[in-house]
A and B are shown apart, each in its own frame.
Chain A
């Protein structure tokens, strides 16, 4: 099975940088995904890591360490619209199940 842990809530200031951590314990691993979800809306894809290292995409970056079962999502130059839940998800070895963590609710304050 999969066990995915993320902080429940975080608060940051507009213009700052925030790092959202995710740790996982899985029976198989075939990629880690980050999604953004505004309340009541569909999750939207942010990033994907399958190899160790940093993937950068504009203001968002995601890092993966497979040996440590650890990933983080880095958000730079925070904007008010970045207030949302950020979901870490792991795909199993068979490439089937995509299991989500409970999500981290980020509040960006002026």
Chain B
């Protein structure tokens, strides 16, 4: 158990819908990262927050957005969902910006 908690574990929804994925980082970790992993694909970096502020943006679609709240938990919002958005979405956290990142168990999103 990495200490990073993601909910829900599984999510099935229809095209065009909107969903919110939630991440609680390890206690004391200020950095949160979101990654997308499609079937048999590598981890694609989406976005990073540090202590509530956006710090880096990767290949994140405009239909996707995220935020980190004062209690440091983070949410990833996915809207106007398409079939191609079906993937595992991982959240990771780290103490600072140099230390290793620890991953949550992921949310498996299936868009039908």
Q: From B57, which residue of chain A is reached at the shortest CB distance?
A: A97
Q: In the complex, what residue of chain B is closest to A43 when comparing beta carbons? A: B103
Q: Which of B11-19, B63-71, B72-80, B90-98 forms contacts with chain A?
A: B90-98
Residues of A within 8 A of B25 (CB): none
Partner of B45 from the list A35, A87, A94, A100 (CB cut-off 8 Å) is: A100
For B97, give its contact among A44, A95, A100 (CB under 8 Å): A95
Interface size on A, residues (CB 8 A): 26
Q: Are A101 and B42 in contact (CB under 8 A)?
A: yes
Query: Number of residues in B with C-beta < 8 Å to the partner?
Result: 25
Task: Say whether B33 contacts A98, CB under 8 Å.
Answer: yes
CB distance from A100 to the nearest CB of B (A): 4
- How long is the Cα–Cα vector from A14 to B96 in the complex, in angstroms? 38
Q: Are B100 and A48 in contact (CB under 8 A)?
A: yes
B83 on interface, CB distance cutoff 8 Å: no
Mark B residues whose CB is within 8 Å of A.
2, 33, 35, 41-43, 45, 48, 50, 55-56, 58, 88, 90, 92, 96-98, 100-106
